Each structure stands twice: as C-alpha cells, then as structure tokens.
Amino acid sequence: MELSIPHRTQIHDLVRVARQGTKVAISQANKNNIQASRKIVEQIIRSKQVQYGVTTGFGAFKNTVINSHQTKTLQKNLILSHSVGVGKPLPPDVVRGIMFIMIRYLSQGHSGVRLETFHTLVEMLNNGVTPIVPEKGSVGSSGDLAPSAHIALVLIGAGEALYKGHVYPGAKAMKLAGITPITLEAKEGLAIINNTSAMTSISSLLLYDAEWLMSVAAVSAALSLQALMGTDRAYDPRVHALKPHREQIRVAQLLRALLKGSTFINKERIQEAYSFRCVPQVHGAIGNMLNYSKSIVTTELNSVTDNPLIFTGDNPDVISGGNFHGEAVAIAMDAAGIALCELGDISERRLAALLDPATNNALPAFLIENGGVNSGLMITQYTAAALVSENKVLAHPASVDSIPTSANIEDIVSMGTIAARKAREIFENVAVVLSIELLASCQAIDVRKKHADKKLHLSPRTDRVYTFIRKKIPYVEHDTEYRKYFMSIRNDLASIAALV
C-alpha cells in the first residue's frame, strides 16, 4: 500500500514509511511544482545572476561566484566535504524517516531540484536502499548538513548503504536495487543537505513511541499500587476537577479504569506517598509537554526547510532565509527529554517503595522470601537509580548552547539534533526503569496472593498485563539473572501498551 504525499503529513505517516516499509507516491501536482521551481534555477544560470547557493559558494564563501562550467564540481564537492559525520550509524528507521522528510519538502516545489534527482531519492526509499549515516556531527543549522550529506553520497553513487540486510558501497547497493546514481547540478546539493530532516526524524519516531510508553507507565503505576495494597482515593474525579489540566484529568480517569474491580485496593488507607498519590499530576504534566513537542515536530515535518527558497507564480523570487534553523525542534526535544526524565524518576520511587520493608506494607525486604541468602530485587533498584541519575545529566538542554560555525556567518546554531538524540537516550533509560518496576510489581503481587487469607484478584485490565508478563517471566523464589527478565519485559513494552 502506498502513501501519497498528503497536504498535511502526520507523525504516524512517517512511522509507516520508516518502519513498515510503506512506499511513497508522488502526485502530478507535486511534479509540476518541482519542475516550475527548477525552471527558475535554470533561468538564473542562463542569465548569470549572482544568487546564493546557485551561482555562488556556500556559507562563508557566499560572495565567491562560481562559473557555470564548475557547477557540477561544486555540487559534488559540497556533498563530499560535508560528509563528516562520526559515531555509530543512525538506526535504519531514522534514516528512512530522514529520506521521507527530504522527499516531503522537496515535493513542495521551493527547492529547485530536477525531477530526475527527486525521483532517484524516491526510488532509493521505495526500494530499500538505506544510506549509512553516522549519528553525530550536526549542530542543527545550517540544518542537518552532515547526516543529509551522507544520504546524498549514496544518491551520487558513493558512501555506503544497507540493502536487504547487508552493507554495500553506495554504488553497488544502487546497482543491486536497479537504480542509477545521479550527477548533481546547480542548487541540488544544497537543496538536499540544507534541512532539519535528521532531528525531525529522530523526534517523530521518539514521540510516536512516547505515546505507548505513557500507557506502560500508567499500567505500571496501577500494578504497583495494587502490589502495595494502597488506596486509589487520590484519583477521585472531584479532586482533579479542582485542578483541571487536561492530561491530569485524563490520567486520573485512566487509572480509575485500570484499577476498577481490583480487590488489592484498600480504600481504608489514608494516603500514599507522592509517587503513587500524585501520578495524575506528574504523568499529566509529562503528557502536556509531550503534546506540545508533538505539535512542534508535526509542524516541522510539514515545513520546507532548505535554503535559498524559490517562489514561483506571478511574482517569482529566490530568497535566502533561515528555515534550516532547528531551534523550534531543539527546544521541543529538550522539553520532551526533561518530561521523560520525570517518568523515570517517579517509576524508580515506586520501585523503591515496593522493595523497602519500611514502606511496602508488610512485603518481604526486596521481595524475596528467604532474604540474606538471596538479595532479591535489591540491585535492580541500583540499576534504576543509575539510569534516572544518568537522565539528569542528559536532561541538560542542548538548545541553550551555540558554537558559531563557518567563520561566524552561522553565528548561532540550534543543536537540535543533539537535543533529539539525548531525548531518545532518556526514553531508552526510562523504558528499562519501567520494565524493572513491572518485574517488581508482579513479584510483589504473587507474594500477596501466596500469603493472603482470602482470594485476591487484580482488576481485569491490569490482569491482562500481569498474565502477559507471567507467561514469560516466572515468580522468583531464589536469586537468578534478573537482567534477562527485565530486559525481556523491555522488549515487550509496546505489546504491553497495546493491552492497556
């Protein structure tokens, strides 16, 4: 099934292309827009106008005029010189997302590429030629230059690419896929690399995953409250009507639904620690921030972010602007990273409460019945503590930093790609913390059941999650390699979220 480039692209559209292999279809209107903008570029070349990025060098070389016979060399050199990324490769889904975003903005007809060049990029995406793109090296303006240049390398038959599970030199990958590399002409190299595609792809995939992680966090909190045999009175709708943040109300409503029908809940208890009592307020605030970040990234996903921009129609023009600057995404992803940190912080505190006999309401220390000989889940909390502490370092905002580049022409940069990568790393740490909490809550629930003087049963909705976990992870009577258990849960978190 193909995805036609719609008037407005949503994050889930990118996920379909990046992860599910959905192919992209381009309308005739898109093709007409591309050809119209290309005509203006060719007109500039014929008339020998001085126009940045078309007949001049780039960045600090903006005043260096390039002769027409040097145009192809200029574009090739631009790609070669900008392919300076370092670090491990970005995941294939991120790279496919970058390519989709490139196609999305190039299709709008403000970039001046040839239809042939555009179609070659579409062919690469649709036929599974995925360039190898190092994760580091972008300062987020003039856009994601280095990551995008590594994609352009394969477009011209250089670099490396993943094709059908193997990494090949770019030229060979293209040949195996039946695609002919292109020779870039005036403006095309700049149009392809001057963008915010890398930060936007990383951010889009992260925010998509953050939605299911929020569901996991809610069900994890609900299982932990039942394991504690705590009270749910703090989730009463009357409480939240007095502080009507939309996400706070939604989380409280979800918790009530998740806990409905549980005999583990003890309404006689007066109150719980903040990490239980304030889940709607904390998770709700996180949800508010993630919604904000999603709105920013969705706008960026639908933007044209290269430079200079070409305007067709009755008053054709070429304007050198700054849409490649990733400040909006940088701030949004710093905010998302900070919010996700709190999701890990509150989870680790619930975990600690379940393990500590001073707070766990008569459960054995570290949830093991033969303590001393067995350490139980004691050290899993150390891992959680290490991860949430690391997140505090990662939460330092990248967007407040700037190092001028290109001889001070690019004198304030966004660091947006760093912000997005940091947020993704925070997400991964939080996912493990929640997995440890789920392991602990299921262990505690089994201890309760084993020693209860009456039959206890979980709420129907949380029992689905408990049963899912118990099909793979047994009750622990003696110390074992706990890591394999909580990492197994981590690998199943998206499936767990679907049960909520």
Q: Output the average pLDDT for the chain.
A: 94
Distance CA 226, CA 222 (A): 6
**How far apart, in Å, are the Cα atoms of 305 and each of 115, 142, 149, 321?**
19, 10, 15, 9
CB 123 within 8 A of CB 182: no
The pLDDT assigned to 404 comes to: 86
Pairing of strands 23-25, 130-131: unpaired
Active-site residue among 52, 168, 208, 482?
52
The pLDDT assigned to 289 comes to: 98
Joined together, the tokens standing for residue 111 give: 């970039």
DSSP character at residue 25? E
CB 448 within 8 A of CB 227: yes
The pLDDT assigned to 63 comes to: 62
Handedness of CA 245, 353, 447, 267 (dihedral sign): negative
Q: pLDDT digits over 84-102, tens only?
A: 999 999 999 999 999 999 9
Q: pLDDT digits over 197-224, tens only?
A: 999 999 999 999 999 999 999 999 999 9
Neighbours of 402 (CB within 10 A): 17
Backbone angles phi and psi of 168, in degrees to 5:
-130, 160
- State yes or no: pLDDT of 1 exceeds 60: yes
For residues 480-500, give the mean pLDDT.
97
Distance CA 231, CA 218 (A): 16
Q: pLDDT digits over 227-262, tens only?
A: 999 999 999 999 999 999 999 999 999 999 999 999
Least confident of 218-227, 286-295, 362-371: 362-371
DSSP character at residue 264? S
DSSP states of 151-183 as a string? HHHHHTT-SEEEETTEEEEHHHHHHHTT-----
Distance CA 419, CA 407 (A): 24
> Which is nearest to 466 in space by CA: 221, 216, 223, 266?
223
Joined together, the tokens standing for residue 409 give: 């022409």
The pLDDT assigned to 229 comes to: 97
- Sorted by where each begins, the domain ranges of the chain are 2-195, 202-499
270: left (phi over 0), alpha (psi -120 to 50) or beta: alpha
The pLDDT assigned to 62 comes to: 61
Query: Considering just the CA atoms, what is the radius of gyration of the chain in Å?
Result: 26
The pLDDT assigned to 406 comes to: 81
The pLDDT assigned to 58 comes to: 60
DSSP states of 180-213 as a string? ------TTHHHHHHSSSHHHHHHHHHHHHHHHHH
Token pair 């997005």 in the structure block, residue: 420
Q: How confident is the model at residue 182 (pLDDT cuts 50, 70, 90)?
A: very high
CATH of domain 202-499: 1.20.200.10
The pLDDT assigned to 73 comes to: 87
DSSP character at residue 374? B
DSSP character at residue 7? S
Q: Is 348 helix (H, G, I), strand (E, B) or coil?
A: helix
163 is catalytic: no
Q: How confident is the model at residue 370 (pLDDT cuts 50, 70, 90)?
A: confident
The pLDDT assigned to 191 comes to: 95
Neighbours of 371 (CB within 10 A): 14
Q: Cα 259 vs. chain centroid, distance in angstroms?
A: 30
Q: Cis peptide leading into 495, omega within 30 of 0?
A: no
Handedness of CA 206, 108, 314, 67 (dihedral sign): positive
The pLDDT assigned to 482 comes to: 97
Q: How confident is the model at residue 53 (pLDDT cuts 50, 70, 90)?
A: low
Joined together, the tokens standing for residue 410 give: 């690019």
> Which is nearest to 37 in space by CA: 54, 16, 14?
54
Q: How confident is the model at residue 142 (pLDDT cuts 50, 70, 90)?
A: confident
For residues 479-484, give the mean pLDDT.
97
The pLDDT assigned to 458 comes to: 97
For residues 177-202, give the mean pLDDT.
96
The pLDDT assigned to 369 comes to: 87
- State yes or no: pLDDT of 279 exceeds 80: yes
- According to CATH, the topology of domain 2-195 is Fumarase C; Chain B, domain 1 (1.10.275)
Determine what percent of the chain is predicted with pLDDT higher than 70. Answer: 97
